[in-house]
Structures are given as C-alpha cells and as structure tokens.
Amino acid sequence: MKKSFDRNKKKPFNRGSERSFEQYREGMNPTDARIEQIDISQKDKRFNLHGMVDSVEQTGGPTIFYITDGTGLLALKAFEGAGVRAYPEINIGDAVSATVTIQEFNNELEGEVSKMSKLTEDQKKDLLNEVAETERKRAEVVPIPFLVQDVILEKLKDRFLKAAGEIRLAIIQNRPIVIRHHNDTDGYSSGFALERAILPLIVKQHNSVKSAWEFYTRAPCNAPLYEIDDSIRDTSHSLSHAAKFSNKMPLILIVDTGSGKEDLLGIQQGRVHGIDFIVVDHHTFEEDVISAETLVHINPFLVGEDGSKYSAGMLCTELARFINPVENILPIPALAGLADRIDNPKTMEGYLEHAAKRGYDKELLGNISTVIDFVSSKLRFMEAREYIEVLFGEPIEKQKALVSLLAPYIRNLESKGLAIAKSAVKTEKIGKTTVQIISIETTYPRGFYPKPGRCVSLLHDWAQEEKKETNLVTLGVLTDAMTIRATEESTFSVQELIEKLETELPDAYVEGGGHKKAGSIKFLPNKQQEVLAITKEYIRHK
C-alpha cells in the first residue's frame, strides 16, 4: 500500500548537519515575508507567505504554484508524488497561506512548500484589496525630465505617464507584453527602446531570466498598419499560451503605426478576446477612431501638433524612460529621427547631442540606419532579438564591426538600385509639378534590395539634388499599390489623394496612409490605370 504523505510531519534534527542550531531554530519558526524581500541571501530559510495563485503548472515531478502578493511573483514547488497533483483543492485565483523553504533551481529562486492552505473568503477579499493597492503603488510613474525641451512632448506628457503606468501595471500583474512595430528603422527603434525598458522589469517581477521569453514578444509588421492577419496571429498565440500555461491575455503595444482607421478592425478583434492595446504613432489620420479602443493613444496630431516633427522612435524612447529610466537607449531618438528625416532642428540637435556623448555621430547613425533597413528586409516577421541587440549596440564593438562590414555593401546595392531607377523612370510635367513615375515590378527583379519605398526615396532625392527639382512628386507604381514621395512646394497630400480616390473611384477599394508628403496606398489590381489617372488629375489641379 502506498504510504500517505504527511505535509505537517517534521523531519528530526540531524546534529551532523552543517546548519547551525540557530539556523535550525530559525527554520522551525518561519517568519512572515513579502515576496519582494526574498533574494538569494535567504536560501534555506523558511517563510510564511500569503498570496494569490496566479497560475499552476503540473510537471512530471512536483506541482508548481506561482503566487503573487503584489510585490512580486514566486514559484512554489509542492511534491505529492511523481506527476501527482499536489493540493488539488487549490487552483488559479485562490488566496493561500504557505510555509516555504527558499531554494534555488537553475539559477532561479523558488519556495519548497511544507504546507499550504486556502484562505477564507473574507481573508481572500482583504488580500485582493491589499494586492491591488500594492500593485497600483508599484505601477506609479515618477515623472522625469524629457531628454529635450519641446512643446509637443509637454502636450503629450499626461499620455506618456498613463501609458507608462499601464505598462508597468501589466508587468506587475504578470500579463505578457507584445510589441508590434513597423518593419523599418524607425519601427525597430521604437520597439527596441521599449524592449530595453520592459525586459528588466519582467525579469525582476518573475525572479526568472527565462521570463523575458515567456512574458514578452516583439514582432515586426511588414505593412505600415496592424493588419487583421497580425491581430489573429497574436490572438491565437495568446489563447494557446493561456490554455497551455495559464497565461493571461497580453497587453499589445502598437508602435510606428496604429492610428488609422485601417488599424481599427485588428484592435477590435483582439479586444474581443481580452487583449488590451496602447498605440504610439506619428502618422496622420482622417478621424480618431482608435483612442476609444485603446488604454492610451499617443500621437502628436491628437494634441494639435504635426506628427512629422517627431518619429515614433523619438516618442517611444521618451515613453521607455518613464517606464524604466534605463541609459542604454539614449542614442535611439537621433537614429530614428535621422532615418525618418524629421524636420525639427532644435529637437534633433538635442537628441544628436545625447548620441554624440555615447560615441555616435551622424555618419555612424546613418550607416546603422542603412544596415537596419537592409536587415529588416531579410528578417521580415522574425523577432531575432539577439541580432537586433547587436544592431543597436549591445555590445557596441560588435555593432561597429557589423556596420563597417555591411554598410559599404548596402550602399553599393543602393547605388545599383538608383542607377536602375534613373534608366527606367518616366518624367512628365503636370501643371507646375514635375512627376517621376517608375514601374517597380517591371524595373526590379523580385526580392531586390533596396525595397520599393527606398528605391522611390533614392530617386526622389536624386532629382532634387542633381536636377534641382523643387516642385516634385515621385510615384513608385506596383500592380496593386503605389509609393509616394513629394516636396513641400508641390502642396501634395497623401490623405487628400486617398479621399479623392475613395470619392471618385470607390470600387478600387483604396486604403493607405503615412505622412502628408510620404506614404503609400493599396488598390485593386484592375484599377491601377484609373488610380494613376486620378492621381495625375489631382496633381494637375494643385
């Protein structure tokens, strides 16, 4: 007959043990503790803990109960038998009291349970209130000065504070964090700045290095919007982790995109399943349909300012410092601002000064941006966390070696791409405006680098610098899309063009966005020529 396991049975004191009598007496009389007070120095000591069961994991050996008391999360290991569920009466959401001995397993702290019991409903209610109050206090953001002085940042400050508080609270409540960013230098800068602030807090919360993988994901969006495809993938992964590992539904941060009506369906789809969203963007939009669907929406246009004065990477770095004032992200705003050609001289000068203090000049930042853009075209949907860390200077010696190796190679590819564009471009005068049109698919082979948007930018810059064109619009035309670049003198507006196309050619199902002078649109393939004709008509009357 299997011998029953008595959880309350005490082992006899072994006088031959290396532990002192004082240590033994301390073990016999465990003290009450909060999880935040427990570290490696308390190994082999016994404590009484009170907390809420956040998740339960049954292994081939012990049962692992993850409990939180608002100050942190700790894994409690209870053993009834190999693969046997210990304390089957205790489940997720229960309030418990546990006596544990602190141990270390795979460089992570855990509590070895000697006894554990459920609290009464009244005790649970009191503990829930205490945990909630503790979590709110821990999530509070201590305001710090912005890296630069700018009225746009000051107008957005309350939104920064609220977003930082929501992100800190999600980490404290053991919710996974997902970052979705656009697949370019500004997007990667946005995601990486937030990553550097968030990951240390996740590791601290869970007392576990591996939690940085279990409770955090960063994924690029190939399109400059949060597509329903991305939303369904994020939701399905989250539901799977909830079913397998008792994870909570995540908080998703959408950065360098997310403000437009084209992002609405993806966000609403996620909300149906319990996902919350924060959006940090700088692109313009026709109507704010996003704020009502998010915890926080940060965009200069929401406070009456021009989003072209700030890149998403600049905004996300300021937000990251409110979440956790780390120092290894300070060159990022200058990198992102240069990559997105931000026209905000005083602010850019301030960010460049921060970068210069850490050994980054304009040339190096430009080369890093070039390499990020190239690498992003190869990685596509991959997170590639370790590789991206190197691109952003962790360690800086390897970053410089990689950039010095790849930048000349990529510049050569860009020169080739520009030469091809110059040989294939068709130029015409429409009213007062010079219009350059290049057919991307018939000019470049599939998978060619630079990407279509970059090829259009190179051609647009060349016409301004070499041909001295000032009233200029450059169009990169694909079967079902068009990439647009325009000068200020052209008075061109991507948003105005989209509105005109929606009105005059509704059956083309046009959608798109971006900045006023730089953006892209999508349409039905069989409407390409009609879209192009209306675009020329729009330019003619500017």
SS (H, E, C) 297-323: EECHHHHCCCHHHCCHHHHHHHHHHHH
With contact defined as beta carbons under 8 Å apart, do 483 and 476 qualify? yes
Give the list of residues 6+ apart from residue 265 with CB closer than 8 angstroms, or none.
228, 231
pLDDT at 222: 85
Q: CB-based burial of residue 304 (10 Å sphere; 0-12 exposed, 13-18 middle, 19+ buried)?
A: exposed
What is the mean pLDDT of the segment spanning 301-327? 97
The one-letter amino acid at 68: T
pLDDT at 7: 33
Q: CB-based burial of residue 12 (10 Å sphere; 0-12 exposed, 13-18 middle, 19+ buried)?
A: exposed
Going by C-alpha positions, the residue among 387, 455, 470 that lies closest to residue 421 is 455
Give 439-484 as a DSSP string.
EHHHHS-TT-SS-HHHHHHHHHHHHHHHS--SSEEEEEE-SSEEEE
Question: In this prediction, what percent of the chain has a pLDDT beyond 70?
Answer: 95
Please provide residue 255's backbone torsions phi and psi, each rounded to the nearest 5 degrees.
Answer: -130, 145
Question: Cα–Cα distance between 515 and 496 in angstroms, integer?
Answer: 11
What is the mean pLDDT of the segment spanning 151-175? 98
Question: Cα–Cα distance between 97 and 47 in angstroms, integer?
Answer: 10
With contact defined as beta carbons under 8 Å apart, do 289 and 311 qualify? no
With contact defined as beta carbons under 8 Å apart, do 138 and 168 qualify? yes
Q: CB-based burial of residue 521 (10 Å sphere; 0-12 exposed, 13-18 middle, 19+ buried)?
A: buried
Confidence of residue 542 (pLDDT cuts 50, 70, 90): confident
What is the per-residue pLDDT across 4-57, written as a single tens digit (0 to 9) for each?
A: 333 333 333 333 333 443 443 344 578 999 999 999 999 999 999 999 999 999
The CATH topology of domain 140-359 is inorganic pyrophosphatase (n-terminal core) (3.90.1640)
| Res 202 pLDDT > 60 | yes
Q: H helices of 121-183, where? A: 121-139, 151-172
pLDDT at 28: 55
Q: Is CATH 3.40.50.2300 correct for 21-130? A: no
The one-letter amino acid at 512: G
Confidence of residue 513 (pLDDT cuts 50, 70, 90): confident
What is the mean pLDDT of the segment spanning 449-469? 95
What is the mean pLDDT of the segment spanning 100-107? 92
pLDDT at 450: 94
Mean pLDDT of the chain: 93
For 425-540, the fitting CATH number among 3.10.310.40, 1.10.3720.10, 3.40.50.300, 3.90.1170.40 is 3.10.310.40
What is the mean pLDDT of the segment spanning 263-284? 97
Question: Cα–Cα distance between 67 and 69 in angstroms, integer?
Answer: 7
pLDDT at 161: 98
| Res 485 pLDDT > 60 | yes
Going by C-alpha positions, the residue among 12, 10, 16, 14 that lies closest to residue 30 is 10
pLDDT at 21: 35
| Res 174 pLDDT > 90 | yes
In 3-state terms, what secondary structure has residue 521? strand
Question: In this prediction, what percent of the chain has a pLDDT beyond 90?
Answer: 89
Confidence of residue 207 (pLDDT cuts 50, 70, 90): confident
Equal fold, 21-130 vs 425-540? no
pLDDT at 224: 86
Sequence spans of domains, the chain: 21-130, 140-359, 425-540
| Res 107 pLDDT > 90 | no
What is the mean pLDDT of the segment spanning 237-258? 95
Going by C-alpha positions, the residue among 179, 515, 136, 144 that lies closest to residue 319 is 144
pLDDT at 13: 31
In 3-state terms, what secondary structure has residue 212? helix
Q: What's the CA angle centered on 455, arms 452 and 459, to 5 degrees?
A: 140
Least confident of 7-16, 115-124, 137-146, 403-412: 7-16
Q: CB-based burial of residue 412 (10 Å sphere; 0-12 exposed, 13-18 middle, 19+ buried)?
A: exposed
SS (H, E, C) 465-476: HHCCCCCEEEEE
pTM of the full structure = 0.89
What is the mean pLDDT of the segment spanning 349-367? 97
What is the mean pLDDT of the segment spanning 115-134? 96
